[in-house]
Amino acid sequence: MSKPALTRYRTLNWSAYNAALCERGSLTVWFDPLTPWHAALSGKRGGQPVYSDAAIQACLTVKVLFGLPLRQTTGFRG
C-alpha cells in the first residue's frame, strides 16, 4: 500500500496572510503583585540567586503548559 501524496500549501496573498498572523491574538498573564519576583539576599558568600522560587516555578509552569524550550521561557520572564 502506497502512502498518500502530501498536500503542499502555497501562500499567494501575503498581505492577507500577514494580517491574519497579527490577528491571532495574544496571551496576558497576571501575577499577584505581592509575590516577590526577586530572591532575598542570603548573606552567604558566592553568587546570589536573582529570582525567587515562586518566579522560577511560574516560568517552569509556563514552559510545560505551552511546550516551550527553556531558552524561550527564560526570555518570557523578561
Q: Is residue 43 part of a domain?
A: yes
Look at residue 78 in the predicted model and tell me its pLDDT.
Answer: 58
Confidence of residue 77 (pLDDT cuts 50, 70, 90): low
Look at residue 10 in the predicted model and tell me its pLDDT.
Answer: 85
In contact, 51 and 37? CB cutoff 8 Å: yes
Mean pLDDT for the stretch of residues 2-8: 84
Q: Is residue 14 part of a domain?
A: no
Q: Is residue 35 part of a domain?
A: yes
The model's pLDDT over 21-39, given as tens digits with 9 standing for 90+, comes to 887 877 777 888 888 888 8
Helices (H), the chain: 14-22, 53-66, 70-76
The model's pLDDT over 51-76, given as tens digits with 9 standing for 90+, comes to 888 888 888 888 898 888 888 887 76
Please state the domain count of the chain: 1
Question: Containing domain of residue 69, as a range?
Answer: 29-76
Task: Give the Cα separation of 52 and 1 in Å (integer).
Answer: 57
Task: Give the Cα separation of 22 and 72 in Å (integer).
Answer: 20
Q: What is the pTM of this model?
A: 0.56
